[in-house]
């Protein structure tokens, strides 16, 4: 049975993920990728870059593409001019609501605190908890009993609500026991908390030198819109893609790497004519969903969720999230992997004119928000970021479609999907449970492992030659220690799709066995054909 506990344990044991600064007790919300994890994440980012940018052929229009389009890349800085964040809206609006518990000296994200009603005799209280979904009811029961000073034998005298409720659904008169509190009603009212990490530029460090670590890579693309246009001869419609680190001071980082404070994003800003923007929005939604399934996420575990009007960000005309049924979520719940937003002309216009008024109804032209002095509250760059179509002579501010994906959430989803347990014969032919990471070969950290069947009779020499040859083309692993069955098992856990074994026949016939991780089928392949055969098998996925 797949469980988050087993997945987390495998990730640590086999070197996919480690807690950051673990020898000092770790730091919440930060994760390091070990030798296998770093390869997996690199492969995921490369697959994205390749499939979305470099292998995209702008000269071809397919049946479901509104028109031909071009894609280019960018690598902008993490620290940018402080004004960027004022005009983007992050300075004023990028916050979550937090609540504090002075008694327990703890802080929580308001929308993440859940709980249940608990009733004993004629007293009804609400017990809040931060426990994972699977442990929520047990945690509430345990703390309710402690609060009412009940012994185990009296457990059935206390009733526990069957429904899990978030704090924001309660009215202000409710008696709430905070997630780590011993007495009632210790939680403060929700307050805004800006999620950007502050930092200071230079040695003098005055108020004007305060800036932020970027909370998204997107703004680096918007402020370079004109540079890319002027330097690369792209024409609208076109997209700029970027992969890089982003930082958010999340109030309650949790669920392994799902909500981290430092993470990587893979973002595209796609610029198009306003009249075509709805078609492009639909195009990117479908294209991005299909990308996840093409790399192995099962369509039963994925949903495309269109946001309701009241849920839309202030700038957005439409947003859809691609969500995945992560195993740490309750049955039927999904977590966001990627958001695809129709941002209208909000971003380019803000960086031209200044921060726009978020109160203006969506879809309408937004006005510059004025400060007390009657001037724009946050002044834009004053640069003209409009586009002139050379063929028609029309000048306009392009609309933007933004598919914004998280590389860490993506990697986690592929890890969760890949984890499986099945029955396979061990070296003595006895059926045993095996743990296997069924990663798509394009994503697998190690593509092939090479084993000499035994450590003698010239087999290691032949195996090392094969290893050296394959190494020129892909990440390969060599192992000659222990029983071959055990070596297979280690590679199954690492997600290695092919194991190549050199045996006696290899010496006389110049062939090896290639074992397929998923089907367990073994086939004989000529040593001279190995590179082509393994490459072809990987590319066919
Ligand atoms: P959430 O609602 O989960 O906080 P969001 O809607 O704020 O996410 P976006 O601003 O749309 O996220 O960011 C785009 C993508 O970046 C997300 O779909 C996700 O994959 C990734 N991402 C955002 N925040 C985090 C985080 N704290 N840790 C890891 N990945 C993140």
Of 135, 165, 193, the position where a domain reaches its end is 193
With 60 as the cut, is the pLDDT of residue 106 above it? yes
- Same domain for 378 and 394, yes or no, is yes
Nearest residue (by CA) to ligand 1, atom 26, is: 259
Of 159, 175, 193, the position where a domain reaches its end is 193
Q: Calculate how far, in angstroms, residue 470's C-alpha sits from the geometric centre of ligand 1.
A: 38
pLDDT tens sequence across 13-37 = 999 999 999 999 999 999 999 999 9
Nearest residue (by CA) to ligand 1, atom 1, is: 336
Cα separation values, 381 from 223, 347, 348, Å: 9, 12, 10
Write the CATH number for 469: 3.40.50.800
Nearest residue (by CA) to ligand 1, atom 24, is: 259
| Domain total of the chain | 3
Q: Calculate how far, in angstroms, residue 227's C-alpha sits from the geometric centre of ligand 1.
A: 27
With 80 as the cut, is the pLDDT of residue 314 above it? no
Nearest residue (by CA) to ligand 1, atom 13, is: 404
Compute φ and ψ for 30, nearest 5 degrees: -130, 135
Report the alpha-carbon distance of residue 500 to residue 478 in Å, rounded.
10
The pick from 97, 321, 339, 408 for probing ligand 1's pocket by mutation, whose C-beta has the most ligand atoms within 8 angstroms, reads: 339
Q: pLDDT higher for 316 or 306?
A: 306
Q: Calculate how far, in angstroms, residue 337's C-alpha sits from the geometric centre of ligand 1.
A: 7
pLDDT score for 133: 81
pLDDT tens sequence across 338-367 = 999 999 998 999 898 865 555 544 444 344
Q: Calculate how far, in angstroms, residue 246's C-alpha sits from the geometric centre of ligand 1.
A: 10
- Same domain for 25 and 41, yes or no, is yes
Nearest residue (by CA) to ligand 1, atom 12, is: 339
DSSP state of 158: E
Residue 375 lies in a domain: yes
Contact 193, 110 (CB under 8 A): no
Contact 218, 347 (CB under 8 A): yes
pLDDT score for 209: 84
pLDDT score for 369: 58
Looking at the CA of residue 264, tell me the nearest atom of ligand 1: 30
pLDDT score for 338: 98
Q: Calculate how far, in angstroms, residue 195's C-alpha sits from the geometric centre of ligand 1.
A: 12
Confidence of residue 63 (pLDDT cuts 50, 70, 90): confident
Nearest residue (by CA) to ligand 1, atom 9, is: 339
Nearest residue (by CA) to ligand 1, atom 14, is: 404
Give the residue-averaged pLDDT of 114-135: 92
- Same domain for 281 and 394, yes or no, is yes
Structure tokens at 214: 């970027």
Q: Calculate how far, in angstroms, residue 314's C-alpha sits from the geometric centre of ligand 1.
A: 17
pLDDT score for 185: 93
Q: Calculate how far, in angstroms, residue 311's C-alpha sits from the geometric centre of ligand 1.
A: 15
Contact 326, 258 (CB under 8 A): yes
Looking at the CA of residue 265, tell me the nearest atom of ligand 1: 16
Confidence of residue 87 (pLDDT cuts 50, 70, 90): confident
Residue 421 lies in a domain: no
With 60 as the cut, is the pLDDT of residue 139 above it? yes
Residue 424 lies in a domain: no
Ranking 44-48, 74-78, 139-143, 355-359 by mean pLDDT, the lowest is 355-359
How crowded is residue 459: how many other Cβ atoms within 10 Å of its Cβ? Answer: 20
pLDDT score for 361: 45
What residues does ligand 1 touch, defined as CB less than 6 Å away? 216, 248, 250, 259-260, 263, 265, 336-339, 404-406, 408-409
Exposure on the CB side of residue 138, measured as CA atoms within 13 A: 5
The pick from 17, 31, 265 for probing ligand 1's pocket by mutation, whose C-beta has the most ligand atoms within 8 angstroms, reads: 265
The pick from 216, 406, 411, 413 for probing ligand 1's pocket by mutation, whose C-beta has the most ligand atoms within 8 angstroms, reads: 406
Compute φ and ψ for 536, nearest 5 degrees: -65, -40
Cα separation values, 15 from 39, 47, 450, 485, 527, Å: 11, 21, 20, 21, 31
Looking at the CA of residue 404, tell me the nearest atom of ligand 1: 14
Residues spanned by the domain of 504: 432-539
pLDDT tens sequence across 212-226 = 999 999 999 999 999
pLDDT score for 355: 55
Nearest residue (by CA) to ligand 1, atom 19, is: 406
Give the residue-averaged pLDDT of 461-471: 97
With 90 as the cut, is the pLDDT of residue 204 above it? no
Which helix (H) or strand (E) segment holds residue 37: the answer is helix 35-49
Q: Calculate how far, in angstroms, residue 259's C-alpha sits from the geometric centre of ligand 1.
A: 8
- Same domain for 208 and 322, yes or no, is yes
Residue 319 lies in a domain: yes
pLDDT score for 39: 98
- Same domain for 155 and 12, yes or no, is no
Positive/negative CA dihedral, 517, 521, 527, 531: negative
Nearest residue (by CA) to ligand 1, atom 23, is: 406
Bridge partners of residue 51, in order along the sequence: none
Q: Calculate how far, in angstroms, residue 215's C-alpha sits from the geometric centre of ligand 1.
A: 10
Residue 420 lies in a domain: no
With 70 as the cut, is the pLDDT of residue 421 above it? yes
Confidence of residue 70 (pLDDT cuts 50, 70, 90): very high
Of 151, 177, 193, the position where a domain reaches its end is 193
- Same domain for 101 and 73, yes or no, is no
Mean pLDDT for all residues in the chain:
91
- The DSSP code sequence of 77-95 is -SB--HHHHHHHSHHHH-E
- Same domain for 116 and 82, yes or no, is no
The pick from 93, 261, 263 for probing ligand 1's pocket by mutation, whose C-beta has the most ligand atoms within 8 angstroms, reads: 263
pTM of the model: 0.87
Nearest residue (by CA) to ligand 1, atom 21, is: 406
Q: Calculate how far, in angstroms, residue 154's C-alpha sits from the geometric centre of ligand 1.
A: 44
How many helices, marked H, and strands, marked E, lie in the chain? Answer: 14, 28
Write the CATH number for 394: 3.30.930.10
Looking at the CA of residue 410, tell me the nearest atom of ligand 1: 20
Residue 425 lies in a domain: no
- Same domain for 404 and 441, yes or no, is no
Residue 160, C-beta contacts closer than 8 angstroms, at least 6 positions apart = 116, 117, 118, 137, 140, 141, 144
- Same domain for 488 and 403, yes or no, is no
Q: Calculate how far, in angstroms, residue 443's C-alpha sits from the geometric centre of ligand 1.
A: 22
With 80 as the cut, is the pLDDT of residue 387 above it? yes
The pick from 250, 409, 415 for probing ligand 1's pocket by mutation, whose C-beta has the most ligand atoms within 8 angstroms, reads: 409
Nearest residue (by CA) to ligand 1, atom 27, is: 259
- Same domain for 122 and 83, yes or no, is no
Q: Calculate how far, in angstroms, residue 406's C-alpha sits from the geometric centre of ligand 1.
A: 6
**Burial profile 36-46: b = 16 or more Cβ within 10 angstroms, e = fewer:** bbebbbbbbbe
- Same domain for 282 and 170, yes or no, is no
pLDDT score for 376: 59
Q: Calculate how far, in angstroms, residue 404's C-alpha sits from the geometric centre of ligand 1.
A: 8
Report the alpha-carbon distance of residue 541 to residue 535 in Å, rounded.
10
Nearest residue (by CA) to ligand 1, atom 16, is: 406
DSSP state of 10: H
Compute φ and ψ for 199, nearest 5 degrees: -150, 170
- Same domain for 24 and 51, yes or no, is yes
Residue 422 lies in a domain: no
Residue 419 lies in a domain: no
């Amino acid at each position: 049975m797949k469980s988050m506990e087993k997945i987390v344990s495998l990730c640590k044991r086999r070197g996919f993920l480690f807690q950051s600064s673990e020898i000092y007790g770790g730091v919440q919300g930060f994760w390091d990728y070990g030798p296998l994890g770093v390869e997996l994440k690199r492969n995921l980012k490369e697959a994205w870059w390749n499939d979305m940018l470099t292998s995209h052929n702008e000269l071809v229009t397919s049946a479901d593409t509104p028109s031909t389009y071009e894609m280019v890349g960018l690598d902008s800085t993490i620290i940018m001019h402080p004004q960027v964040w004022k005009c983007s809206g992050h300075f004023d609006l990028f916050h979550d609501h937090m609540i504090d518990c002075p008694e327990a000296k703890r802080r929580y994200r308001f929308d993440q605190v859940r709980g249940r009603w608990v009733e004993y005799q004629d007293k009804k209280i609400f017990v809040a908890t931060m426990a994972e979904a699977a442990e929520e009811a047990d945690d509430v029961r345990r703390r309710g009993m402690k609060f009412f000073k009940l012994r185990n034998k009296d457990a059935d005298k206390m009733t526990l609500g069957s429904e899990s409720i978030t704090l924001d659904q309660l009215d202000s008169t409710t008696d709430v026991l905070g997630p780590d509190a011993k007495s009632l009603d210790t939680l403060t009212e929700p307050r805004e908390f800006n999620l950007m990490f502050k930092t200071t530029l230079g040695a003098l460090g005055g108020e004007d030198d305060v800036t932020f670590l970027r909370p998204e890579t997107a703004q680096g693309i918007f402020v370079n819109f004109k540079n890319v246009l002027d330097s690369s001869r792209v024409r609208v419609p076109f997209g700029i893609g970027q992969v890089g680190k982003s930082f958010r001071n999340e109030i309650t980082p949790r669920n392994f790497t799902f909500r981290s404070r430092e993470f990587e994003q893979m973002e595209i800003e796609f610029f198009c004519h306003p009249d075509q923007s709805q078609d492009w929005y639909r195009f990117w939604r479908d294209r991005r969903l299909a990308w996840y399934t093409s790399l192995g996420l099962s369509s039963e575990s994925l949903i495309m969720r269109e946001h309701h009007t009241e849920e839309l960000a202030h700038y957005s005309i439409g947003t859809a999230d691609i969500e995945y049924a992560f195993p740490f979520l309750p049955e039927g719940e999904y977590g966001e992997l990627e958001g695809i937003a129709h941002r209208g002309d909000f971003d380019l216009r803000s960086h031209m004119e200044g921060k726009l008024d978020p109160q203006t109804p969506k879809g309408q032209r937004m006005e510059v928000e004025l400060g007390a002095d009657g001037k724009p509250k946050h002044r834009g760059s004053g640069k003209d970021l409009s586009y002139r179509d050379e063929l028609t002579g029309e000048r306009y501010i392009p609309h933007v479609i933004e598919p914004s994906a998280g590389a860490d959430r993506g990697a986690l989803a592929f890890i969760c999907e890949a984890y499986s347990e099945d029955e396979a014969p061990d070296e003595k032919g006895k059926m045993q449970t095996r743990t296997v990471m069924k990663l798509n070969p394009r994503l697998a950290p190690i593509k092939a492992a090479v084993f000499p069947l035994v450590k003698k009779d010239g087999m290691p020499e032949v195996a090392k030659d094969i290893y050296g040859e394959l190494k020129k083309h892909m990440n390969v692993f060599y192992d000659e220690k222990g029983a071959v069955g055990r070596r297979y098992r280690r590679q199954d856990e690492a997600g290695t799709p092919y194991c190549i074994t050199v045996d006696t026949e290899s010496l006389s016939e110049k062939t090896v066995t290639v074992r397929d991780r998923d089907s367990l089928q073994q086939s004989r392949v000529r040593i001279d054909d190995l590179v082509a055969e393994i490459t072809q098998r990987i590319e066919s996925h």
